[in-house]
């Protein structure tokens, strides 16, 4: 599935929501903060229900610009490949850790899928 432009969390207010009011899932290689968005109006297009994401990689935790950009590319690709597993209408903030560039991509995918499972469990009553 494509990673559409409307799936990028760009506004600071959108990014702040999951960090302040959301729930944290620790994945060792990265941390995922998630928050369910308010339900869109019935007449809204289906694209509004797509999961949205912001990937954060700081210099203090990941390293220089090359390492930060690589970490963000890898995490965005994991999200792109497995976004259909996530619940509809959810916002994610993924925070990279230092180990994100040292671990195999397959392991990152496994950690992300485990996080998605945990997110789905917290949503069911």
Question: What CATH number matches the domain at 5-123, 3.30.230.10, 3.40.50.620, 3.40.50.300, 3.90.940.20?
Answer: 3.30.230.10
In which residue ranges of the chain is pLDDT below 70? 39-48, 123-125
The pLDDT, as a whole number, for residue 121 is 84
What's residue 43's pLDDT?
A: 47
Domain ranges of the chain: 5-123
Nearest partner of 30 among 123, 121, 92, 84, judged by Cα: 92
Q: What is the pLDDT of residues 75-110, one digit of tens each?
A: 999 999 999 999 888 999 999 999 999 999 999 999
For residue 65, the number of C-alpha atoms closer than 13 Å in the C-beta half-sphere is 0
Provide the pLDDT for residue 68.
Answer: 96
For position 1, what pLDDT does the model report? 74
Task: State the pairing for strand pair 90-96/30-36.
Answer: antiparallel
- Interhelix angle 65-82/105-123, nearest 10 degrees: 60
pTM: predicted TM-score of the whole model, two decimal places: 0.88
């Amino acid at each position: 599935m494509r990673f559409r432009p409307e799936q990028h969390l760009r506004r600071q207010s959108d990014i702040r929501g999951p960090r302040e009011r959301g729930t944290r899932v620790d994945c060792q290689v990265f941390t995922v903060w998630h928050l369910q968005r308010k339900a869109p109006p019935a007449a809204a297009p289906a694209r509004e229900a797509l999961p949205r994401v912001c990937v954060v990689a700081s210099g203090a935790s990941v390293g220089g610009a090359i390492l930060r950009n690589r970490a963000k590319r890898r995490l965005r690709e994991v999200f792109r490949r497995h976004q259909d597993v996530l619940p509809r209408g959810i916002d994610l903030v993924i925070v990279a850790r230092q180990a994100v560039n040292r671990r195999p991509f397959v392991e990152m995918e496994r950690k992300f899928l485990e996080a998605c499972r945990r997110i789905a469990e917290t949503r069911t009553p």
